A = this chain, B = another copy of it.
Amino acid sequence: MASPEQAQQASPELFFATVNAYQRTEALRAAIELDLFSALGAGPRTAAALGERCSASERGIRILCDYLVVHGFLTKEGNRYANTPDSAVFLDRKSAAYLGSAINFILSPMLTDGFKNLAAAVRKGGTVMGEHGTLAPEHPVWVEFARSMAPMTTIPSAAIARLMRLEPGRKHRVLDIAAGHGKFGIAFAREYPNVEIVAQDWPNVLAVARENARAAGIEERFRTLPGSAFDVDYGSGYDLVLLTNFLHHFDPETCERLLRKARAALAPGARAATLEFVPNEDRVSPPVPATFSLMMLGSTPKGDAYTFPELERMFRNAGFARSELHALPPTFQSVVISYS
């Protein structure tokens, strides 16, 4: 219970800001749908001028832009709005780092529906969306993922490829498990001319990965392995296995089963590189990996954001000798390198 002194000094500000936080999501989504940030690419504009460019009412644009100023996406001087530096980089369609398409995945009903009755998911301890949530075989959400999220991998995929320091002269075979858009494997093929990629995923998803391999000019070193990561035959003798944003969908037992299978496909002394949201052991820091657990609670039966000791134990139980944790700034993710 609160003391009278606490009650006097208390503020409901956080409560109201949080209750209404869904409006932040919707305001950003609306601005991306209206392509507002691209309309500001050439410089500051008034609500009237933006309304004309975005085919929207001046009044609606004025209210939306003021909201986006308050929340840090735009600046306002007099009655003219402008992109912040971050908005210019990530939200102007003409920018190479454009992230706006990510909302097609992150805000797809397949993910957001899992939050419509979050209390039920907390009671149950997992998603209330069907038996498997987003993990049902050939779920179309992963095609949307492959199409929408590829632009976001530019920085981390190149960073992992460099981090793994493959020997330049030698041929390497890399198995990319649950490859999705294929961009992580493709980054290795681009960084190392002797690397050959085998990309595993659902067939509908691999179609997107093949397009990306072709666009990157590495298709002759890019093979596909269609099917479930748990059932398909990986083959053997790989020098590296990539597990990017995959383990968080499963419980530790399922992860260990997969890791045993992955280890069996490796050549002696080869490595696994795992990209994950890895919270500290307190599970409440840093904010991005710590809050990722809730995404898994809403959308999967048993997924989680695992701490490094938890991941280390899974790899050890699966037969790996040791694991190392590497931060991957400026991303909010980490790479675990495990030695077979």
Contacts and interface: CB of A to CB of B under 8 A. Distances in A.
9 contacts: A2-B88, A10-B89, A12-B90, A19-B103, A23-B294, A30-B122, A54-B122, A57-B125, A70-B285
Nearest to A122: B60
Contacts of A287: 70
A181 to B, nearest CB: 17
Scoring A15, A29, A73, A107 by chain B CB atoms within 10 A of each residue's CB, the highest score goes to A15
Range of interface residues on chain A? 35 or more
Nearest to A81: B284
A21 to B, nearest CB: 4
The SS class assigned to the A binding surface is helix
Interface string A94-125: 11110100110011000010011011011111
B90 A15 contact: yes
Interface stretch (A61-69, A254-262, A320-328): A61-69
Contacts of A7: 89, 95-97
A102 B19 contact: yes
A86 B293 contact: no
A114 to B, nearest CB: 9
Contact of A63 (B11, B63, B293): B293
